[in-house]
């Protein structure tokens, strides 16, 4: 962290650069804020994504009153967190110039050795549209080019090995024929037998340069795997004319030289995997700003490969609704812009991740279920020398802490460990902080009462201005860590598993997998609880469990 203090005109500005990871850095900033008491003070967080609990409590204590502390943030995660805590802050996120890209009229692929399979995959991803597609691949002049026959089996586009002076038509794929240079001018095909360029005929260089002049900014090209440098010089022409230039990552190529030479030239927009190129191309052909499931699927495959998070088995309706919301909130002009930003900017991915993660929760949500567990399940749990509970999809921790309170009142907390997991590392950081807004305190109190609470909810918290903190005794019994229900397995055996209003957002295939995971994780005498809109009919639940109380969504092993 770097902290600079600027005083002037009776005002103070604290500029905070970097993350606040070390305790001494946090102490330095807290000291600077305390020293500024009575002055008009503004704190600017330029890089911080989240803040530790001690600092949050200080900010909350100074954020109200006659001369409240002014807070400015520059990262979406921190802005969202402070908003949840109702701590006033100004969001100075850099707004990208997400103007709608001129509609693409043409796409082009150029490759040499090791590019055939990539070409086939990319073309297969394209829905039929009015765009024209051009392909040039290095093929020996004395060998037939079978690419047109291979593509006709994989696409609805018309596929042609064109003739000289043939008009260019929409919804058509044109393949540069062996032994000829292919150029496009005034929507006419020109085939010549002139010299080889970069030892190639057909040459990527020749086709790309002619397309740059023909289509300018309405063109997107991808340079794929291969040897040599054919096409590299054309990249500058393409960029000068406003075309979008993609290069396949050399890391996934056996023939790396061609894409690496393209990268070395510096004349490109993005270096992407083959799946990333598929996402760019498939989103370029859609007519509407909102994508269909076909287009979303290629995007999510690229996201999984790029960032390691798998959303491909989420329910289709959930995916479409949340991407639509993100389109509106992010300011992206269309889906092509959104997927471009996510695949090339980790901060944009974080926004997508937050949009697709399920983080709806509150203290003692569904209190009648908590009351049932307190009365019926806890007496069974008492027989175990050590109780292990898994709260799967714990979000920001309210459910785990609610359970800890009831276990405390039942005299079971000391021999209990609550494992609270979620896929979202940022939301887990918030859960570990154990800080929440007081705005819904009346709701929390009422839910606690309906859950059978024996005291007052406020007995388990400590207030800090307009936020409150969960008591240390409860926090110490909850272990928060990242775990994905999508692709990670068993990590312990539990007497009680809570997974509420999570799997309803998954596809049937993923629901099956999660139910199998729960069956391997639950003790034979344990309890499984689901959300109020979920049941064993989701996935393979009926193969493993039976209803203990169908109305309360509590289940036990099917024996």
CA separation for the pair 558, 548 (Å, rounded) = 10
Query: 331: buried, middle or exposed (CB in 10 Å: 19+, 13-18, 0-12)?
Result: middle
Please provide residue 303's backbone torsions phi and psi, each rounded to the nearest 5 degrees. -60, -45
CA separation for the pair 404, 477 (Å, rounded) = 7
CA separation for the pair 112, 69 (Å, rounded) = 60
Element (H, E) at 420: strand 416-422
b/e sequence 281-319, b meaning 16+ C-beta within 10 Å: bbbbbbeeeebeeebbbbbbbbbbbbeebbbbbbbeebb
Confirm if 337 and 98 have CB atoms less than 8 A apart: yes
Sheet with 2-8, strands from edge to edge, namely 2-8, 11-17, 40-45, 70-73, 90-91
Active site residue 464: no
Sole residue written with tokens 């007995």 = 459
Distance of CA 31 to CAs 3, 58, 462, Å?
A: 11, 10, 22
Annotated catalytic residue within 36, 114, 129, 138: 138
Both tokens of residue 61? 């204590």
Annotated catalytic residue within 77, 112, 125, 265: 112
Active site residue 112: yes
Beta strands in 473-521 (DSSP E): 478-482, 494-499
Q: Which residue in 122, 120, 202 sits closest to 153, CA to CA?
A: 120
Sole residue written with tokens 């929409």 = 170
Please provide residue 173's backbone torsions phi and psi, each rounded to the nearest 5 degrees. -105, 125
Both tokens of residue 145? 């080019």
b/e sequence 474-495, b meaning 16+ C-beta within 10 Å: bbebbebeebebbeeeeeeebb
Please, which residues have CB within 8 angstroms of residue 200's CB and are 6 or more apart in sequence? 112, 138, 228, 230
Annotated catalytic residue within 230, 269, 341, 422: 230
Active site residue 138: yes
Both tokens of residue 229? 């440098």
Distance of CA 329 to CAs 86, 178, 338, Å?
A: 19, 49, 11
Q: Which residues are catalytic?
A: 112, 138, 230
């Amino acid at each position: 962290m770097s902290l600079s203090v600027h005083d002037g005109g009776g005002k103070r500005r604290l500029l905070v650069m970097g993350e606040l990871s070390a305790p001494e850095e946090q102490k330095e900033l807290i000291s600077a804020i305390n020293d500024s008491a009575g002055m008009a003070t503004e704190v600017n967080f330029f890089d911080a994504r989240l803040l530790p609990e001690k600092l949050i409590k200080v900010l909350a204590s100074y954020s109200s009153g006659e001369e409240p502390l002014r807070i400015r943030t520059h990262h979406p995660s921190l802005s969202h967190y402070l908003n949840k805590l109702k701590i006033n802050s100004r969001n100075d996120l850099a707004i990208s110039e997400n103007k709608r890209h001129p509609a693409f009229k043409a796409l082009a692929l150029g490759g040499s050795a090791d590019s055939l399979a990539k070409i086939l995959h990319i073309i297969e991803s394209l829905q039929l549209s009015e765009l024209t597609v051009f392909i040039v691949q290095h093929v020996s002049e004395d060998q037939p080019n079978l690419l047109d026959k291979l593509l006709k089996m994989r696409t609805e586009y018309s596929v042609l090995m064109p003739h000289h002076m043939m008009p260019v038509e929409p919804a058509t794929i044109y393949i540069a024929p062996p032994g000829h240079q292919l150029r496009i001018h005034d929507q006419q095909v020109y085939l010549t037998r002139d010299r080889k360029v970069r030892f190639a005929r057909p040459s990527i260089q020749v086709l790309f340069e002619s397309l740059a002049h023909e289509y300018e900014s309405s063109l997107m090209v991808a340079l794929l795997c291969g040897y040599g440098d054919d096409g590299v010089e054309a990249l500058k022409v393409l960029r000068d004319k406003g075309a979008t230039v993609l290069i396949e990552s050399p890391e996934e190529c056996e023939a790396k030289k061609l894409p690496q030479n393209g990268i070395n030239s510096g004349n490109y927009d993005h270096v992407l995997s083959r799946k990333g190129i598929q996402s760019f191309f498939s989103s370029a052909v859609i007519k509407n700003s909102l994508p269909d499931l076909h287009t979303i699927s290629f995007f999510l495959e690229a996201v999984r490969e790029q960032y390691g998070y798998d959303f491909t088995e989420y329910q289709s309706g959930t995916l479409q609704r949340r991407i639509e919301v993100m389109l509106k909130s992010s300011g992206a002009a269309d889906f092509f812009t959104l997927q471009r930003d996510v695949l090339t900017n980790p901060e944009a991915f974080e926004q997508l991740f937050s949009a697709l993660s399920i983080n709806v929760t509150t203290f003692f949500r569904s209190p009648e279920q908590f009351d049932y567990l307190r009365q019926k399940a806890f007496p069974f749990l008492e027989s175990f020398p050590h109780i292990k509970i898994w709260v799967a999809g714990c979000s920001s921790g309210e459910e785990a802490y609610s359970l800890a309170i009831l276990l405390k009142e039942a005299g079971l907390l000391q021999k209990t460990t609550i494992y609270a997991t979620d896929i979202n590392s940022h939301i887990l950081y918030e859960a570990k902080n154990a800080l929440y807004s007081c705005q819904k305190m009346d709701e929390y109190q009422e839910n606690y009462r309906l859950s059978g609470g024996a005291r007052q909810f406020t007995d388990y918290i400590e207030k800090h201005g307009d936020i409150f903190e969960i008591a240390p005794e409860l926090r110490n019994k909850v272990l928060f860590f990242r775990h994905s229900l999508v692709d990670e397995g068993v990590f312990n055996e539990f007497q009680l598993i809570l997974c509420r209003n999570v799997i309803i957002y998954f596809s049937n295939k993923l629901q099956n997998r999660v139910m199998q995971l729960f069956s391997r994780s639950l003790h034979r005498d344990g309890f499984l609880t689901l959300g109020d809109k979920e049941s064993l009919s989701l996935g393979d639940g009926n193969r493993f469990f039976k209803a203990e109380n169908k109305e309360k969504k509590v289940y036990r092993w099917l024996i």
